[in-house]
């Protein structure tokens, strides 16, 4: 084993997918319920959580997306020009989520 790292905070934080970035780092997507340690922001019950790490496993940056309810991402698809399509679901209708049609809605976000 070359290395192992844990990322997150004091609550349940889960990684679901990973992609290689154009500069050789790794972008990881999942959801975070924490609002401490590696998770700098939490808008509600759970948020989509993106983290970028370098090839040695060091945290480069992290970002939460979502609203005041439960938001989760399961897949990450690299696109052109260092853009990534993130797909999952959301129960929110505030902060980063424009609308909600009731209960869980499919949610797609393109991030750079």
The model's pLDDT over 46-98, given as tens digits with 9 standing for 90+, comes to 999 999 999 999 999 999 998 889 999 999 999 988 899 999 998 888 788 88
Q: Which two tokens stand for residue 40?
A: 């700098």
Q: Is residue 28 part of a domain?
A: yes
Number of domains comprising the chain: 1
Q: Is residue 3 part of a domain?
A: no
Q: Domain residues for 24? A: 13-111
Q: Is residue 48 part of a domain?
A: yes
Q: Is residue 35 part of a domain?
A: yes
Global pTM? 0.90
Q: Is residue 7 part of a domain?
A: no
Q: Average pLDDT in the 26-45 region?
A: 92
Q: 23 — alpha (psi -120 to 50), left (phi > 0) or beta?
A: alpha
> What percent of the chain is predicted at pLDDT more than 70?
100
Neighbours of 50 (CB within 10 A): 21
Angle at CA 72, nearest 5°, toward 69 and 75?
A: 160
């Amino acid at each position: 084993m070359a290395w192992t790292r844990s990322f997150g905070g004091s609550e349940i934080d889960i990684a679901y997918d990973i992609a290689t970035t154009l500069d050789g780092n790794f972008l990881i997507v999942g959801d975070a319920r924490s609002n401490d340690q590696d998770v700098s922001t939490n808008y509600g019950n759970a948020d989509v959580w993106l983290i970028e790490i370098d090839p040695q496993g060091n945290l480069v940056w992290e970002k939460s997306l979502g609203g005041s309810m439960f938001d989760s991402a399961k897949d990450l698809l690299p696109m052109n020009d260092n853009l990534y399509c993130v797909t999952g679901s959301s129960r929110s209708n505030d902060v980063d989520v424009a609308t909600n049609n009731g209960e869980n809605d499919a949610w797609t976000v393109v991030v750079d």
